[in-house]
Amino acid sequence: MSSVAAAFRLARAGWVLVREGVVAALPGEELSGMPKFGWRVARLFTRRRALSYQRGDRLARAVVRLGPSYVKLGQFLATRPDVVGNDMALDLALLQDKMHTFPKAEAIHAIEASLGRRIDDLYASFGEPVAAASIAQVHSAEVVREGVASRVAVKVIRPGVRRRFFQDLESYFLAAHLQEKYIPSSRRLRPVEVTQTLAQTTRIEMDLRLEAAALSELGENTKDDTGFRVPVVDWERTGRDVLTMEWIDGVKMNDIAGLAAAGHDLKAIAANLIQSFLRHTLRDGFFHADMHPGNLFVEADGTIVAVDLGIAGRLGKKERRFLAEILYGFIVRDYQRVAEVHFEAGYVPRQHNVSAFAQAIRAIGEPIHGQSAETISMAKLLTLLFEVTELFDMATRTELVLLQKTMVVVEGVARTLDPAFNMWKTSEPVVSDWIAGNLGPRGMLADARDAGRALVSLARQAPDLVARTERLSREIDLMAENGLRFDEATARAIGRAEARHTRSGRVALWVIALTLIYIAWKLL
């Protein structure tokens, strides 16, 4: 029954996208066969007034009809231009995460249930909501510490949003499985894995304790940095459904006129924003992955304060080295080294030729070097790079795509502040410092130190490894002698899983087909 309900919800979502003209706005003329026929049918069922709207407006109207969980889906897919394409990702990034507020009484009930204390014991005053998004809304409140009152922001989870989202999530998984099964060319993009990432990301975002932990971690990483910080978390008043943090008084970065009126140096803010982002990425391997201008404030002294850390990105040491060497290789036009880095990192399969890949990299780099520094976009460079890697079967790397999306947004914000912004000159001090510290002599010493620690750890585990090897050898001998065997319970479980998967897929397809026939009949 769960699969049937998911199929009905998926069919309804498809119908809304058709009626609001979202499907008709896709480049269907490039399709062929049944996909092109479906696109033409979708155009017939599109609302006449929807045809006059831009594609971004059509998406926004469809999402409003579908509800908060589809807002979150759209925002998530905006971080995956490898899946939806760059143009669609830009449209999705414009989706406004502004929803109707829910009553103050419901917010108070959620806070008291989460923290186990009465609202009057927690806050000296608790105001009406000042902003509302798809997952939570924010209230202004006051707390008293040692007789001193201070203003705080209180973020509260929207009632029922978890149940609604995970119901819709079943539909997303159904669509991903059908896509993998019937569109083989899409398997490289791993749609089921993308959906799993969405599920995990949203679970984290719906537990406000984890957002508080991310704010705390980023705060520790940047405590000695000048010009950038995040709000301080009030852990005493933070739980699964509520996050209390310092109230930020500043000008939002999307208010260019307000920044200028406050006397801020817009060029300095743009440079500070880019250098802060690269510093967090390369130095710490942990960055704010939702740095649109609505989440960035500028305080009176010019300090940038980033809020709403529901989405964060992480890069391991290998990925950071990969990023730095790519940027440095493009700067010095060493395309062979850029190609070798891809192969060393294991991102491009070994059956491809390194020199051929370097040739493709050169096709990206040379046109860029013919331009002035002010017109070269690092975000565009990464976008073109990921397009080329598709030709060489490079599998989707979620952490790198999230980095690309964030860099596109951050660079775009910087250019709104300073239209003549020089990305390369601004980022050079941070990138060159990281390369000197990690790829030069200091980096070699650090690698040797890490290798020594790994050897010590391996030596400590040696007795356990020997015992495991001995057990594995005995199991292999038994397998060679008797063959691979499943116990009865395992065989039955495999049979049930296969039967359930086949039955669910057939039921889902029939439900979708019958729903579309019914809709067509009602319209005729």
**Residue 415 exposure: Cα atoms within 13 Å on the Cβ side:** 15
The stretches of 30-67 forming alpha helices (DSSP H) are 33-45, 55-66
The stretches of 124-262 forming alpha helices (DSSP H) are 161-182, 191-205, 208-221, 256-261
- Verify that 262 and 372 share a domain, yes or no: yes
Cα torsion angle, 59, 63, 69, 70, sign = negative
Q: Tell me the pLDDT of the chain (524 aa) as tens digits.
A: 456 777 777 788 888 888 877 777 776 666 667 767 777 887 788 887 777 777 667 777 777 777 777 777 776 666 666 556 666 666 666 665 567 789 999 999 999 999 999 999 999 999 999 988 878 899 999 999 888 899 999 999 999 888 888 878 788 788 778 777 777 766 666 777 777 777 777 788 889 999 999 999 999 999 999 999 999 999 999 999 999 999 999 999 989 999 999 999 999 999 999 999 999 998 999 999 888 888 899 999 999 999 988 888 888 887 888 777 877 777 778 888 888 887 887 778 788 888 988 888 888 777 766 666 566 666 666 667 666 766 777 666 666 667 777 887 888 888 889 888 877 778 878 877 887 777 655 555 555 566 566 666 666 777 776 777 777 777 776 666 666 565 666 666 666 666 555 555 565 556 566 665 655 555 55
In a domain, 343, yes or no: yes
- Verify that 290 and 379 share a domain, yes or no: yes
- Nearest to residue 299, comparing CAs of 255, 257, 252? 252
Which residues make beta-bridge pairs with 312? Answer: 288
- Verify that 272 and 382 share a domain, yes or no: yes
Cβ within 8 Å of residue 54, ≥6 positions away: none
- Verify that 170 and 305 share a domain, yes or no: no
In a domain, 462, yes or no: no
In a domain, 431, yes or no: yes
In a domain, 83, yes or no: yes
Q: What is the pLDDT of residue 245?
A: 96
Q: What is the pLDDT of residue 98?
A: 60
Say how far apart CA 135 and CA 311 lie, in whole Å.
Answer: 13
The phi, psi pair for 154, rounded to 5°, reads -120, 115
- Verify that 176 and 261 share a domain, yes or no: no
Apex 385 CA angle, 380 and 387, nearest 5: 95
Ramachandran sector of residue 59 (left: φ over 0; alpha: ψ -120 to 50; beta: rest)? alpha
In a domain, 454, yes or no: no
Say how far apart CA 414 and CA 422 lie, in whole Å.
Answer: 10
In a domain, 383, yes or no: yes
Q: Using DSSP bridges, classify how beta strands 242-246 and 296-298 pair: parallel, antiparallel or unpaired.
A: unpaired
Catalytic residues: 290
- Verify that 197 and 255 share a domain, yes or no: no
Domain range for residue 195? 1-96+162-202
- Verify that 174 and 280 share a domain, yes or no: no
CB atoms near residue 286 (< 10 Å) = 16
Count of domains forming the chain: 2
Asked if 385 and 361 touch (Cβ cutoff 8 Å), the reply is yes
- Verify that 306 and 167 share a domain, yes or no: no
Say how far apart CA 249 and CA 258 lie, in whole Å.
Answer: 13
- Verify that 404 and 330 share a domain, yes or no: yes
- Verify that 59 and 193 share a domain, yes or no: yes
Question: Would you give the distance in Å from CA 511 to the centre of its chain?
Answer: 32
Asked which of 417, 438, 459 is the last residue of a domain, the reply is 438
Asked which of 390, 406, 438 is the last residue of a domain, the reply is 438
- Verify that 279 and 179 share a domain, yes or no: no
Say how far apart CA 508 and CA 79 lie, in whole Å.
Answer: 28
In a domain, 457, yes or no: no
pLDDT per position as a tens digit, 39-70: 788 778 888 777 777 766 777 777 777 777 77
Residue whose pair of structure tokens reads 């500070």 in the numeric block: 272
pLDDT per position as a tens digit, 407-444: 878 888 888 898 888 777 788 788 778 877 776 555 55
In a domain, 4, yes or no: yes
Q: What is the dihedral of CA 114, 116, 118, 123, to 10 degrees?
A: -60
- Verify that 194 and 309 share a domain, yes or no: no
Asked which of 380, 408, 438 is the last residue of a domain, the reply is 438
**Encoding tokens for residue 22?**
């979202």
